[in-house]
Amino acid sequence: MNHPTNYGPNPWHQTSWDARAAGNFVCGGAGAGLVVFAALSGARGAALTGFVLAGLALVGLGLFSVFLEMGRPLRAVNVVFNPRTSWMSREAIAAGLLFAAGLAAVAGIAQLVWVAAALALVFLYCQARLLQASKGIPAWREPLLVPLVIVTGLTEGGGLLLLALPFTGIVTSPLLTGFGLLLIARVLVWRAYRRRLEGVVARGAGAALDRAGQMLQLAGTPVPLALVVALLAGWVPSAAVPLLAALAGLSAAFAGSYFKFTLVTRAGFNQGFALAHLPVRGQPR
């Protein structure tokens, strides 16, 4: 790997993960969240099939992005051979099981959609742990990143389901309430996460995270949350419900995707070299 010219004691931006790696977290997380919301929505028939297949397609697209990033793509199958120590292996295995359960659910065994939803949660958790396992990157190794990535994926999935409302007509008050609670949880975890990183991350990483945070805290939270409240309170004419629900879903999903893309591609500064004890000539170690 070629290191930038400032390779040394100061933090520098990692070059191993780029937009292709970010695509796995953006698409895979949103797809897994959509599978979870497909189960919670109570959809049946063509609607359930559409939601689950769309979720699986996004998960597959994310994994394909990682495939494109590999230096030796033909060896991609080796990723499943080390589940005991590798979160990437666990993610791949969870994805395989998720595809099996999801396809079985749309093939006629509707009860398996709950199994697919559980596996989607496992997949999301593996994704979060995979990113958090990069201990050399302060913005990634923070433990609060795990719940942040999970709640972001679920919020994106709920947003995508609402985005399809003009075509499916499927929405319930409990579903909207759950989506609204996820919006609140996401921004609260984000703020706690960002406070923990204050003075820890490099200046470039902090600036990138703050830009993503502005998107989460402005377009990604108050706008969809206000629309959800209006929908739940019945302040919206019935003819406008599908459009406003779709707008809430779009703004929430876009903000989450922008955050994860920025997190991977812009905030990945390592900590640089840290020498706790400098050698002194003539002094014992």
Phi, psi of 11 (to 5 degrees): -60, 145
What residue segments make up the domains of the chain, in order of their start?
19-265
Q: How confident is the model at residue 240 (pLDDT cuts 50, 70, 90)?
A: very high
With residues binned 3-state (H G I as helix, E B as strand, rest as coil), the percentages for the chain, rounded to 5, are 70, 0, 30
- In sequence order, the 6+-apart residues with CB closer than 8 A to the CB of 62 are 23, 24, 25, 26, 27, 28, 29, 31
Q: Read off the amino acid at residue 160.
A: L
Burial class (CB in 10 A: 0-12, 13-18, 19+), 186: buried
Cβ atoms 272, 12 nearer than 8 A: yes
- In sequence order, the 6+-apart residues with CB closer than 8 A to the CB of 240 are none
Q: Per-residue pLDDT tens for 101-143?
A: 999 999 989 899 999 999 999 999 999 999 999 888 999 999 9
Q: Per-residue pLDDT tens for 1-59?
A: 444 445 556 777 888 888 999 999 999 999 999 999 999 998 899 999 999 999 999 99
Whole-number pLDDT of residue 14: 84
Match domain 19-265 to its CATH number in 1.20.1630.10, 3.30.1360.120, 1.10.10.10, 3.20.20.70.
Answer: 1.20.1630.10
Whole-number pLDDT of residue 192: 98
Cα 126 from Cα 137, distance rounded (Å): 18
